[in-house]
Amino acid sequence: MMLSARDTPSTFLPETLGYMSLKSLALPGLALLLLLTGCAKKNPPPPPPPEAGYVVLAPQTASIDIELSGRTTAYETSEVRPQVSGLILARRFTEGSIVHQGETLYEIDPSLYGAAAAEAKANVGQAEANRAAAEARASRYKPLVEIEAVSKQDYTDAVAQARQAAAQVAQTRAALKTAEINLAFTRVPAPITGRVGRSLVTTGALVTSGQDSPLTTISRLDPINVDIQQSSADLVALRNRLASGGVLPSGASVQLMLEDGSVYAQRGRVEFAEPLVDPSTGTVTLRARFPNPQNLLLPGMFVRARFSQATLQNVILAPQQAVSRTPRGDASVMLVGPDNKAVLRQIKVDRTIGDKWLVVSGLAAGDKVITEGLSRVRPGQPVHPVLAGSAAAAPAAQAGR
C-alpha cells in the first residue's frame, strides 16, 4: 500500500495529536458548563432575619418638668424720703455702694429743729416748776382743811391745780420728744441694708416732708426674688392630676437660665403662688427665691425658670427614637411579638420627659420595643431580637478583627 505525501508521518502525527488535544480540552469545559447550569437552577438560601435592638419596658417614676419665663425683683426695696422739710446740707454715701440700716444718708439743715427742741425743753422746765408749786399748796391745805382753817373748796381747787400742773409737765415733755425726733430726722437714715442707687437730689436742694419723689432707693439683692408667670389652665390641670392620685407634688427646687443662655449656679425654691389670676394675661404668679451672694442677678432681668411641679408614679416611658408618626400625627412603635415577629402598635403619648415619651395608652410593662434597626424591619416580618446596644456593638467588633 503506497502512502501519499499528506499521509507521511511528518504530517499525519501533528494533525492527529492536535485533534486529540482539542478534544481533551473541550470535554472538561463542557462538564464544568453543565455543572454550573445545574447549580443555577437551584434556589438560593433565604437571607437571615434582620437584627432588631429592643428595650424591655418597666414602670418608672418621672417628674413633670416645666420651663417658664420670669422677672427678677429685689427681696426688699425702700424709697428714701425726708420726714422733715429743709435744705440738704450734705450727702453721706457713695452711689451704688452697700449701706447698712441706720446709716446716715443725707443731712438736712437742723437750725430750726434745734431751736424748737430747746424751746420745748424750756417749756418742760417751766411746767415742772408750776407743778412743784401747785403740789406744795395742795399739801399745805390738807391739814388746814381738817381743822377748817381753809374751806374745802379752796383745798379742792389746790388739788386740781396740782393735777393740772402735772398734766402740763407731761404735755411739754411730749412736745420736747417730738422736737427731738424732728431734730433727729434732719439726719436721713437708711431704713434697710442693701445697695443704694443714684442720688436724685444734690446738696442745697429744698426737700419737704412727705414729698412724692424719693431722695434715693435702696434694694436688698441677697436673696433675690423671681416672679414666674404660669398659665392658669396649666395650674388647674396640675391640681386635677394631684387630686386624681398617682401624682405626688415635687420639691420646689428651681433652676434658672439667664438671658445669655447660661445656667445660674445657685438653685432656688418656689415660695408661694398668688391666689388670684391676672385678668389681662390669664396667668398666675409664682415667686421663687434665689441666693445672690455675688449680686449677679439684678432687679428687672428677664430669666427662664425650670422646675418640677409633680412626680408621676408607675408610668411607662418609651424611647423617643422608637416612636414614629403617621401623616395624621398618630404615634406608633414596633414591638418584638410572638415567634420573634415585628408587630406595629398604635400608642398615645402625652409629653416628652428627658429623652423619652410619656405613654398614656398602648404599651405595658414587659413589652419589647424596637429601638435599633427600624429601617430594616417591617410589620409581620421575622426579626432577630437582641438587647439594644448589642446590635450596634456586633458590627463594630467584626470590623475590628
What pLDDT, on a 0 to 100 scale, did the predictor assign at position 205? 93
Which among 58, 54, 64 has a CA at the least distance from the CA of 316? Answer: 58
Domain ranges of the chain: 52-62+314-389, 64-74+220-313, 82-105+186-213, 110-185
pLDDT for 273: 81
Q: Give the per-residue pLDDT at 37.
A: 52
Q: What is the CATH number of domain 82-105+186-213?
A: 2.40.50.100
385 vs 372: CA distance, rounded Å? 10
Fold of 110-185: Helix Hairpins (1.10.287)
**Which residue type, as a one-letter code, is found at position 177?**
K
- Residue 89, by phi and psi: left (phi above 0), alpha (psi -120 to 50) or beta? alpha
SS3 label, residue 86: strand
Exposure b/e, 192-220, CB count within 10 A at least 16 = b? bbbbbbebebeeeeebeeeeeeebbbbbb
pLDDT given at position 242: 65
Residue 5's pLDDT is what? 43
What pLDDT score was predicted for residue 154?
Answer: 84
Contact between residue 193 and residue 101 where contact means Cβ atoms under 8 Å apart: yes
Mean pLDDT by 10 residues, the chain (401 residues): 43 43 48 49 74 90 83 94 94 93 94 94 92 88 82 86 91 94 95 93 92 94 91 77 62 84 90 84 88 91 86 86 88 90 90 86 90 88 87 42 35
Phi and psi, residue 226, nearest 5°: -125, 120
97-125 tens-digit pLDDT: 999 999 999 999 999 999 999 999 999 99
CATH architecture of 52-62+314-389: Beta Barrel (2.40)
Give the pLDDT of residue 160: 92
Full-model pTM: 0.63
pLDDT of residue 395: 44
Strands 86-91 and 216-231: unpaired
CATH topology of domain 64-74+220-313: Elongation Factor Tu (Ef-tu); domain 3 (2.40.30)
Tell me, yes or no, if the two domains 64-74+220-313 and 110-185 fold the same way: no
Query: What is the pLDDT, as a whole number, of residue 244?
Result: 63
| Alpha helices, H only, 199-354 | 232-244
